[in-house]
Amino acid sequence: TQTVSQSDAHVTVFEGDSVELRCNYSYGGSIYLSWYIQHHGRGLQFLLKYYSGNPVVQGVNGFEAEFSKSDSSFHLRKASVHWSDSAVYFCAVMGGSNAKLTFGKGTKLSVKS
């Protein structure tokens, strides 16, 4: 069974601040991790993914995430946020040959100007 946990329901920062959105997972085997963004009233947009190789992966719009097997984590970071980054961010996990993504509960990021 694969599970994913996003500990922060809501994060508020100011424009230009850095931000880290936390994601922890549990699964016993090979794992595929990804982050998606959902703006209000829209569908999910893919940000980035990790399956193997370099644990730091770069995504769109300056986002990056770092995989840590020891911490069972895949935290999302951005060095300098913009007001347009305000959205709900979902971490997702897929284990082995499983054909389904399991999503976390989402973290709502509010960027104040």
Partner 1 sequence: ETAVFQTPNYHVTQVGNEVSFNCKQTLGHDTMYWYKQDSKKLLKIMFSYNNKQLIVNETVPRRFSPQSSDKAHLNLRIKSVEPEDSAVYLCASSYSGGVNQAPLFGEGTRLSVL
Q: Footprint of partner 1 on this chain (CB under 8 A)? A: 32, 34, 36, 38, 42-46, 49, 51, 88, 90, 94, 97-103, 105-106
Least CB distance from residue 22 to partner 1, whole Å? 17
Least CB distance from residue 100 to partner 1, whole Å? 5
Question: Two tokens at 67?
Answer: 């995989």
- Closer residue to partner 1, CB minimum distance, 13 or 101: 101
- Closer residue to partner 1, CB minimum distance, 81 or 94: 94
- Closer residue to partner 1, CB minimum distance, 57 or 111: 57
Least CB distance from residue 16 to partner 1, whole Å? 27
Contacts of 1 (CB under 8 A, 6+ apart): 26, 27
Least CB distance from residue 1 to partner 1, whole Å? 13
Smallest Cα–Cα separation from 34: which of 62, 57, 11? 57
